[in-house]
Amino acid sequence: MTHVPAPFSSTRREFVVQAAGALTAMAILPSLARATYRPASPISIGLVGAGRQGRLILGELEKMEGVSIAGVCDTDPSRRESGCRRAAGSKPFDSHKALLEGLKNATAVIIATPTHTHKAIALDCIQAGKHVYCEAPLAHTIDDCKSIASAAAGTGKQVFAVGFEGRSNPVYRLARTFFRTDAVRDFVAAEAQSYKKESWRFPAPPGSDAARERAENWRLDPDLSLGLAGEIGSHQFDVVHWYTGRYPTSVFGSGSVRAFTDGRTLADTASCSFGFDAGERFNWSASLGNSFGGRFEVLRGTNAAIKLAWSLGWMFKEADSPTEGWEVYANRQQFFNDEGITLIADATKLASQGKLKEGVGLPEKPLHYALADFLSAVSESKSPACDAAAGAKSTIVSILAGEAVKKGQVVPIDPALLKV
Amino acid sequence: MTPPSSSSVLLATQAMGTRFEIVLHGEDEGRLRAVGEEAVRAIEHWHGRLSRFMPESDVSRLNRDSGARVGDDLRDLLDVCDEVRLASRGAFDPRIGPERRLDLGAVGKGWALDQAAEIVLEHGLTTALLHGGGSSVVAIGAPANAEGWPIAIRSDGEARRVLLRDQALGVSAPRGRMDARGVTHIVDPRTGDAPIHTDTAAVIAPLGPSAASLADAWSTALVVLGKPPTTFPPGFTVHTHQPSRGWVSYSPHVLESA
């Protein structure tokens, strides 16, 4: 057996020691099952919202044994029909109230409707005694966020999960364990971006009237949409909040229409700079006009930086930071002048099989893990990775960020607003 | 003849190891872009589900666990593959190697284009050209003042020109030098041998739900077979290029016996 010196004293980790010549990797998390999630006991679900996100959710749920879609609700007949076709055996409903009335035995409801419609549906689902998974951002006003969080808090054993997927992402969870130790050390700054060239315009069915066009394109409606900061940025802001355990105290925003001259007024390019109470800054930018760099978050500490890109994560160590024994065998990737250690969930098991490099990435999409986390919370009566309170706080920050973008100025983030 | 349109948009994406392009003609540029982006998203969605190189894809999951649950829409694609496998008597087979690993590379581009084309048609557009890597094509309607979309299929310096209108085209050709035992990415699944009859096979199918997938799969089978069998679908057209004969065409009413 080959023994590697163990400088750590943390009781949360153990070194897995292998036979001579094999890789040694750090076991950080419980084994990441390569098989698709299966709940401990059967769960029946009603889906409210069979549009784009609803279809993605159905795609992940249909992989899971022990999960049945009892009903699909959508106000649009063709989406409703398409959703029911996909979820064989499900009943169609044209309103969430009809779904709750018709599916009294359903265990849970998943809400995948436009953000500004979440509150009414969420409150009715909570009232009906259902476990709820609500897509993020949670709501489009601060009051709505607080209403949902308050209702969810009063339910006792009912699970309310918010779809900020970073918190259930195995790579993000692994990286967070490093962030909270000397491996990264003192938080210095963070940045994130989301760049993808797309118009955000969705086509209404042929022959649609103006009202239908507007409904399909709620994300471009300045009266309804939280804009880039809310719809996209909120997910990334939540990662920073979760990692640091802190919320910013102010945000400066700016935005403009740079790429799509189709009469829209909502910014298609935006940036926010968040200030924290000890002076740290988190800078975020996004655009619908360019795709370079895609989407990622970087959290910087005095010993290392962590970069997260959805299914992938890396740690970039400072030259003067201590080297851990396992790093000698770690998988690495070169980025111009920087070398990153690839953060691989389930590294120990994969290393023992000689398949460490195959572990780069995730065997399922991040949405899958978010849904699995929710279903696990339901079947095991535990808290989800992102509950209503946490989801409300990150959404409120993003609402204020969106306000800053619209005004092009600094907006304070009063801690009292984040008491949910 | 299609009347002149006032607008056209071109959208593109990298997927399945190649460049996909979508050209849409119509009245409202903003709406064309919105429809095109929806179609591009469908291509990217299927890239994520069919890629052998992505651990989270349906194909990778099935190769890890043959009992893995996948959506009925993927089963529809597997049914298309089975249809061609049986009709070609094994000259096309999506399972490769002694481990019989699933590899949908020969039909994936066509399938992605089929889903993208369905979106374009659902939104009422009547003039569009979609392609993946230049070897899988869906033509909807025809451009202004033309009978069809003009396509040149090239092989060994010779071009076969076709006009496509409401049709799908799949083109297959072995890579590298072509000789009796040449380097090729297409082998006869029944023997493991490199094909020796045909260096390019192009199949044209009438537009339908799986037209591009069928065209892709059959073009791969025909590189192996050399000419269409009697079980070849009616209404499809084949153009093959053979080193010794040049371009040879087979239309439905002049199919030769196997």
Q: Is A362 on the interface with B (CB under 8 A)?
A: yes
Q: Is A171 on the interface with B (CB under 8 A)?
A: no
pLDDT higher than threshold 60 for residue A399: yes
Asked if A363 and B60 come within 8 Å (Cβ–Cβ), the reply is yes
Say what the pLDDT of residue B181 is. 54
Is the separation of the CB atoms in A272 and A283 below 8 Å?
yes
Q: Which of residues 106-125 of A touch B (CB under 8 A)?
A: none
Asked if A59 and B71 come within 8 Å (Cβ–Cβ), the reply is yes
Residues of B in contact with A372 (CB under 8 A): none
> Residues A263-272: pLDDT tens digits?
999 999 999 9
Q: Which of A201, A362, A363 sits opposite B33 (nearest CB)?
A: A201
Residues of B in contact with A262 (CB under 8 A): 30
Best CA proximity match to B135, nearest among B117, B157, B113, B120 = B113
Say what the pLDDT of residue B69 is. 86
Asked if B38 and A62 come within 8 Å (Cβ–Cβ), the reply is no
Q: How far is CA A199 from the centre of its chain?
A: 22
Q: Is A325 on the interface with B (CB under 8 A)?
A: no
Say what the pLDDT of residue A236 is. 98
Say what the pLDDT of residue A21 is. 27
pLDDT higher than threshold 50 for residue A103: yes
Q: Which of residues 44-63 of B touch A (CB under 8 A)?
A: 48, 54-56, 60-61
Asked if A35 and B37 come within 8 Å (Cβ–Cβ), the reply is no
Neighbours of A328 (CB within 10 A): 10
Distance from CA of B87 to the nearest CA of A (A): 29
How far the first Cα of chain B sits from its last, in Å, is 38
With residue B160 as reference, give the H or E element that holds it: strand B158-164
C-alpha torsion angle, residues A86, A87, A93, A99 (rounded to 10): -150
Q: Which of A62, A199, A364 sits opposite B34 (nearest CB)?
A: A199
Give the global pTM: 0.87
Count of CB contacts below 8 A, A vs B?
59
Asked if B71 and A358 come within 8 Å (Cβ–Cβ), the reply is no
Q: Are strands B200-206 and B237-242 parallel, antiparallel or unpaired?
A: antiparallel
Average pLDDT of span A159-186: 93
Q: Which of residues 215-234 of B touch A (CB under 8 A)?
A: none
Determine the longest span between alpha carbons in chain A, in angstroms.
73
C-alpha torsion angle, residues B150, B154, B160, B164 (rounded to 10): -30
pLDDT higher than threshold 80 for residue A224: yes
How far the first Cα of chain A sits from its last, in Å, is 53
Q: Which of A52, A262, A362 sits opposite B30 (nearest CB)?
A: A262
Q: Which of A86, A201, A364 sits opposite B56 (nearest CB)?
A: A364
Say what the pLDDT of residue A356 is. 61
**A368: closest chain B residue by CA:** B56
Asked if B69 and A361 come within 8 Å (Cβ–Cβ), the reply is no
Determine the longest span between alpha carbons in chain B, in angstroms.
54
Choose from A63, A81, A217, A360 for mutation: most chain B CBs within 10 A: A63
Q: Could you tell me the mean pLDDT of each successive run of 10 residues in chain B, 258 residues long?
A: 74 96 95 96 96 89 89 92 96 91 95 97 96 96 94 88 96 66 70 79 96 97 92 94 87 46
Say what the pLDDT of residue B70 is. 86
Q: Is A88 on the interface with B (CB under 8 A)?
A: yes
**B13: closest chain A residue by CA:** A197
Average pLDDT, chain A: 87
Rounded distance between C-alpha atoms, residue A416 and residue A418, angstroms: 5
Rounded distance between C-alpha atoms, residue B113 and residue B92, angstroms: 20
Average pLDDT of span A136-163: 95
Q: Which residue has the tokens 């460049």?
A: B19
Q: Which amino acid is at A185?
A: R
Q: Are strands A67-73 and A91-93 parallel, antiparallel or unpaired?
A: parallel
Residues 6+ apart with CB under 8 A from A131: A107, A108, A109, A158, A159, A160, A374, A377, A378
C-alpha radius of gyration, chain B, whole number: 18
Q: Which of residues 374-413 of A touch B (CB under 8 A)?
A: none
Rounded distance between C-alpha atoms, residue B41 and residue B35, angstroms: 10
Q: Is A283 on the interface with B (CB under 8 A)?
A: no
Bin A396: left if φ > 0, else alpha if -120 < ψ < 50, else beta.
alpha
Neighbours of A22 (CB within 10 A): 15
Rounded distance between C-alpha atoms, residue A362 and residue A249, angstroms: 34
Average pLDDT of span A6-13: 31
Output b/e per residue, A76-115; b: 16+ Cβ within 10 A: beebbebbbebbeebbbbeebeebbebbeebbbbbbbbbb
Looking at the DSSP bridge assignments, the partners of residue A32 are: none
Q: Which amino acid is at A136?
A: A
Query: Higher confidence at residue A5 or residue B101?
Result: B101
Say what the pLDDT of residue A3 is. 31
Q: Which of B37, B64, B70 sits opposite A34 (nearest CB)?
A: B64
**Residue B164 three-state SS:** strand
Looking at the DSSP bridge assignments, the partners of residue B15 are: B18
Say what the pLDDT of residue B193 is. 79
Best CA proximity match to B157, nearest among B24, B246, B56, B250 = B246
Q: What are phi and psi of B186, to 5 degrees?
A: -115, 125
Choose from B28, B52, B72 for mutation: most chain A CBs within 10 A: B72
Classify the complex by whether its ipTM is higher than 0.90, answering yes or no.
Answer: no
Residues of B in contact with A35 (CB under 8 A): 65
Residues of A in contact with B33 (CB under 8 A): 199, 201
Q: Is B31 on the interface with A (CB under 8 A)?
A: yes
| 3-class SS letters over chain A | CCCCCCCCCCCCCEECCCCCCCCCCEECCCCCCCCCCCCCCCEEEEEECCCHHHHHHHHHHCCCCCEEEEEEECCCHHHHHHHHHHCCCCEEECCHHHHHHHCCCCCEEEECCCHHHHHHHHHHHHHCCCEEEECCCCCCCHHHHHHHHHHHHCCCCCCEEECCHHHHCHHHHHHHHHHCCCCCCCEEEEEEEEECCCCCCCCCCCCCCHHHHHHHCHHHCCCCCCHHHHHHHHHHHHHHHHHHCCCCCEEEEEEECCCCCCCCCCCCEEEEEEECCCCCEEEEEEECCCCCCCEEEEEEECCEEEEEECCEEEEEECCCCCCCHHHHHCCEEEECCEEEEECCCCHHHHHHCCCCHHHCCCCCCHHHHHHHHHHHHHHHCCCCCCEHHHHHHHHHHHHHHHHHHHHCCEEECCHHHHCC
Is the separation of the CB atoms in A135 and A226 below 8 Å?
no
> Residues A253-263: pLDDT tens digits?
999 999 998 99
Asked if B56 and A363 come within 8 Å (Cβ–Cβ), the reply is yes
CA distances from B182 to A118, A327, B96, B155, B240 (A): 61, 45, 19, 16, 18
C-alpha radius of gyration, chain A, whole number: 22
Average pLDDT of span A65-71: 94
With residue B20 as reference, give the H or E element that holds it: strand B18-26
Best CA proximity match to B129, nearest among B147, B108, B99, B150 = B150
Asked if A63 and B68 come within 8 Å (Cβ–Cβ), the reply is yes
Asked if A201 and B68 come within 8 Å (Cβ–Cβ), the reply is no
Say what the pLDDT of residue A413 is. 97
Q: Are strands B158-164 and A281-287 parallel, antiparallel or unpaired?
A: unpaired
Query: Higher confidence at residue B31 or residue A29?
Result: B31
**B37: closest chain A residue by CA:** A198
Q: Is B68 on the interface with A (CB under 8 A)?
A: yes
Q: What are phi and psi of B211, to 5 degrees?
A: -60, -50
